[in-house]
Chains A and B, each alone.
Chain A
């Protein structure tokens, strides 16, 4: 196959990827989009296989690698629980990051195999440097994000004095070694600066993510999504491969947009999220407030209130995901609908641990998507709603967001406090991620139901029958 033919096939594959993203504008077109994505990937792989075969005939190991990796990926994709999606995505990001680093190492070791001149021209070295450090940061950052999301390490922010300064110093040192690598010649002198630079990048990725706490994970995971794309694009630049550049840029801009949406939904700047530590210092403020009275009730009380309502809005949060209560919630909604109650769901953009987390859980429980509403579409309806049922959400319904001077002032919230009655299910009175007390819990019209979301909802279903 000529280089021109290869490039044209890559163009076809790239267009498939663009349609894969485009399809996600609506649930009915999304599956066709995904199928096109698979076709695009297949084209890219087959064409590349042909290129390698005509150059060296050494394709056996490649096929074995694809078979082993593909089998592992297929098994994981089949077995993973929907509640585990955030950690799965984080784990996948780390693989892309590591693959980028490995490719760069192989390129430094044997430039000609990857179509580079030997010694490597300065421009390609610069690009290898960029691909390597983004890949390395993506890898170690994603490993930490994976650990936090899966509960293998504590999700609380880890902060220590001089943290930002240390990160800055490491970043500067990394760039310094990058410049050394850039200047180094001949090839025997590449390794020392390259290895040190890569090590520093791994360290930096680790240090960048440890200060970021659980509820900021939607931003982090979107950001790492973006990085994994830029890493692929960086490698594409160093290998002069338009396929990698185009796909990497698509992914990079997608992740960047998601990060932006998530930041906006928390009314926080991207920088403040990245610097981390949010909520860690707020814990003391809660302890300082005097004990206020809340009204608490049982599942039977809730069932009575729900069945007497005309309209109910359910606000799911991370607590629902933790308790895996989505199926029980669906059952409850069905029972209420049979009684003629209008049940809808309101989703805050940062509910859960990744963008769209709640939507997927509800879809898994076969909740029709026309009952599920985004924040801006349903917020004006809370005032005319009889009962709002908040399941394991806290900060996203905190009316303090409307109070000047509070830590979350200006964050768009679901205006649950405008409803006639509010029922809040939580495991305990512990403060939310922002470390703030929630005045919603102390309102006269609010009833608290303590306990695991799944258990509580199942009890409600029993009481409704």
Chain B
């Protein structure tokens, strides 16, 4: 038996990551759903990794410029997403962190 194709390995990673995402996200408290959206937004800026490969070809032609544009767009997202999430979470912090019993229940349970 030979090693599986990369596409099969990718598929395995993909499916397992969905399971992780599914279980982790259900633990997020509804009060923080907006920060969840902005932080996932920032995480999706990981597409920056692909954009960087496109922006640094050995021979820099118009394809390189397309890549640079993609890098800039993804960078807006990465910086903007994490910083705005930070700003929002600071607002949730100022409160006295005492007996809070935030919802354990989720809409789906």
Contact = CB atoms under 8 A, between A and B. Distances in A.
Contact of B37 (A53, A66, A89, A374): A89
Contacts of B68: 61-62, 64-65
Interface in A19-52: 20-22, 24-28, 30-31, 33-34, 37-38, 40-41, 44-45, 48-49, 51-52
B29 A61 contact: no
B45 A96 contact: yes
Given A65-B68, A239-B53, A27 B108 contact: no
Contact of A30 (B24, B35, B63, B83): B35
Q: Give the interface size class of chain A.
A: 35 or more
Nearest to B9: A242
B50 A258 contact: no
Contact of B63 (A28, A110, A231, A260): A110
B29 to A, nearest CB: 6
A258 B10 CA distance: 25
A151 interface: no
A281 interface: no
A396 interface: no
A92 B77 contact: yes
Contacts of A355: 30, 33-34, 36-37
A240 to B, nearest CB: 5
A62 B82 CA distance: 20
Interface string A98-130: 111011011101100111000000010000000
B66 A106 contact: yes
Contact of B47 (A222, A235, A254): A235
Interface string B35-73: 111111111111111111111111011111011111111
A99 B74 contact: yes
A363 B54 contact: no
B25 interface: yes
A383 interface: no
Contacts of B89: 27, 30-31, 34
Q: Give the interface size class of chain B.
A: 35 or more
Contact of B107 (A93, A241, A261): A261
Interface string B67-107: 11111111111111111111111111111111111110111
A71 B42 CA distance: 15
B21 to A, nearest CB: 3
A248 interface: yes
B25 A96 contact: no
A102 B103 CA distance: 41
B62 A68 contact: no
A221 interface: yes
B61 A110 contact: yes
Given A45-B48, A360-B34, A24 B71 contact: no
Given A237-B7, A349-B30, A107 B54 contact: yes
Contacts of B18: 249, 252-253
Contacts of B94: 366
B66 A24 contact: no
A359 interface: yes
Given A228-B41, A240-B6, A355-B37, A61 B107 contact: no
A375 B21 CA distance: 25
B73 to A, nearest CB: 4
10 contacts: A26-B100, A27-B95, A28-B93, A41-B45, A41-B48, A66-B71, A77-B84, A113-B58, A225-B40, A257-B25
Closest 10 CB pairs of A and B: A69-B75, A356-B33, A73-B80, A65-B71, A253-B21, A73-B79, A355-B33, A113-B57, A77-B83, A106-B54
Given A65-B68, A88-B80, A225-B40, 20 more contacts: A18-B24, A24-B39, A27-B93, A41-B42, A45-B48, A51-B53, A61-B68, A69-B72, A69-B79, A73-B79, A80-B84, A89-B41, A103-B51, A105-B63, A106-B66, A239-B53, A250-B17, A347-B30, A368-B95, A370-B98
